[in-house]
Structure 1
Amino acid sequence: MKKTKSLYQDLKPKRKDWVLALISLTFVAMGFFLLPKNRDVGIVTIAFFGVCAGTFLTTIFRKLRESKFQSISVGVSGGVDIKPSRLRVWLMAFLLISLGTILAVFGDSYPFLLGILAYVIAGFGILLVAMILFGTIPVGFLRFDPDGFRIGRRKWTILLPWDEIAEVRAGEFNSNAAVFLFLRSYDRIRTEPEEFYQKAIQEILSSEGWIGSHFMILTSNYGMSSPVLAEAIERYKSQPEAREELNRTRIEM
């Protein structure tokens, strides 16, 4: 049986992704070659470019998976907050602290600027840990409700009525998986509390000017695939009869 062509082929890895991964892997191999002759240089090279290679390869595998996604009928739990992944932020903090520490300990033979970079990287990791512990990050949520799609911020939420969503598009932003939302108008959107309405409009206009869409959701933050989220929003946007499902808090696929 002939396979159906995916609607998301544009999400496949670009040449730049493969080139960057290949360059990073080449430097990792050079690091292993250097280990017997200069242990410190070898360790620093492996650590730095290993992180780079891991990042680029993760992006490539994600893009390959999402580009092959086949359209399905997606249902979600209505009225349930979909929150950003705390584990993802913890892993990022741990990675930054580990990399910064390795560069600081084994980078004596490198220029002074590398030492500064090492402490900056580790410092960012420590800052992330502090922000997690104090509840500063991650914040917000996504929620599917019968009356619309809700996006939560730290102190307020915005409701996008299903009929006001003109277009949903899966894509990427700076190599991060993203879903872009375009509105028909701003007339029927609501905020809770209401006094944040003007702030929401300012955010929408700013997003339109900088990104080209009214809202952008970085789906990796929520541990989601961009085609899956886009398909779910598209279903409830275009099928009013399906919105009744969102009164029931259970998952349907």
Structure 2
Amino acid sequence: MDWLLVAINTAFVAAGIVILPREPAGGLVTLAFFGSCLAVSAGTVWRKLHYRRFVAKRIDVAGGVPIRPSRTFLPLLGGWLALLGVVLFVFGGEIGLIFQAIAVIIAGAGMTVLVLVVTGYTAGAFLQFDPEALTIAQLSRRGTWCARLSWDDIVSVREGEYESNPMLLVTVADPSALQIAPPEARDRAVRDIARARQWMGADFAIMTLHYGIALPVLSETVARYVNDAAARGELRPRLT
């Protein structure tokens, strides 16, 4: 299916190039929309091929240090969606009101992402490896909450995907026993965890692209500390 999408999007991009001299507006809309689709589908194919060849010799993690989301991923995503929506709206008027409504939704989604980045809302998420536990800070509608997952309580670490986005799926033995901070966020965290289990089949679904980390790298790292208690000593904060 991934290769089929690449082929379809490539064909439409080629068509857009052909019609661009005769119908600049139609050609530009075609190139903008299907060029974006081609970038996504080709990136998905490249990522999956890269992941299949991935072999980890050694993975080092700095213990006690929060791993923050990528500073470039969300701004680039938001800017791309906003620009795409504007181009489709301005040059796609002849296609119809429904198409322009879709363009407004795309642009609005991009601008929303940019606002969340500028206001610092998205910076609250992080991962932290410690000798005793893995801490996952999650974003929710009412702010950020953190869950501390004891390595011995993690029962499953799987690689998954949602809408072509690579996800690390982590399940614990008893979600109700997790340490949640701040304490007043416990009810919200319980609902978010239950929702993740319903939709993703795991208590935590971490989108690795958000952190700029390849899924196999994060998956093997977490699995190593879950399965090898002796290796957890590497996560003690290093003296400088």
What is the TM-score of this pair, normalised by structure 1? 0.86
1:165–1:131 CA distance, 2 compared to 1 (3 A): same
Give, in whole Å, the separation in 1 of the partners of 2:59 and 2:158.
Answer: 16
Shift in alpha-carbon separation, 1:93–1:200, aligned structure 2, 3 A = closer
Deviation at 1:185, TM superposition (A): 2.7
In 1, the alpha carbon distance for the partners of 2:177 and 2:123 equals 28
Q: Retained in 2: the 8 A contact 1:140–1:152?
A: yes
SS at match of 1:86: coil
Alignment of 1:88-237 (within 5 A): 88-153=73-138, 154-186=143-175, 188-237=177-226
| Change in CA separation of 1:149 and 1:46 when aligned onto 2, cut-off 3 Å | same
* Amino acid in structure 2 at the alignment position of 1:101: V
CA distance in 1, matches of 2:83, 2:191: 39
Among 13, 16, 40, the residue aligned to 1:28: 13
Judged with a 3 Å threshold, the aligned counterparts in structure 2 of structure 1 residues 113 and 17 are, in CA distance, closer, same or farther, namely same
1 or 2, which has the higher helix percentage? 2
- For 2:134 and 2:45, locate their aligned partners in 1 and report how far apart those are by CA, in whole Å: 30
Quote the RMSD (CA, aligned, Å): 1.9
Among residues 39, 61, 69, which one is paired with 1:54 in the alignment? Answer: 39
Report if aligned partners of 2:124, 2:144 keep a CA contact under 8 Å in 1.
no
The answer to whether the 8 Å contact 2:145/2:189 transfers is no
Shift of 1:119: 2.5
Letter in 1 for 2:2: D
Tell me what 1:8 maps to.
none
Checking the alignment, whether the CA contact within 8 Å between 1:100 and 1:119 is kept in structure 2 is: yes
Cα distance in 1, alignment partners of residues 116 and 194 from structure 2: 28
**How far 1:98 sits from its partner (Å)?**
1.6
Change (3 A) 1:17 1:195: same
- Change in Cα spacing, 1:116 to 1:57, as seen in structure 2 (3 Å) is same
Q: Deviation at 1:249?
A: 4.1
Task: Return closer, same or farther for 1:35/1:235 CA change in 2, 3 Å cut-off.
Answer: same
State the structure with bigger RCO (CA 8 A, min sep 6), 1 or 2: 1
Q: How many residues align?
A: 235
Distance 1:214 1:193 in 2: 19
**1:71: how far off?**
4.1
Identical residues among aligned pairs (%): 35
Cα contact 1:164–1:188 (8 A) shared by 2: no
TM-score between the two structures when normalised by the length of structure 2 = 0.90
Taking the aligned partners of 2:134 and 2:62, their CA distance within structure 1 comes to 12
SS at match of 2:69: coil
| Alpha-carbon separation, structure 2, partners of 1:171 and 1:201 | 22
* 2-structure distance, mates of 1:45, 1:218: 30
**Could you list the runs of 5+ residues in structure 1 that have no partner in the other structure?**
1-15
Say if 1:108 and 1:80 are closer, same or farther in 2 by CA, change over 3 A: same
Name the CA distance, whole Å, in 1 between partners of 2:193 and 2:112.
29
Asked whether the equivalents of residues 161 and 188 of structure 1 are also in contact (C-alpha less than 8 Å), the reply is no
Q: Secondary structure at the match of 2:57?
A: coil
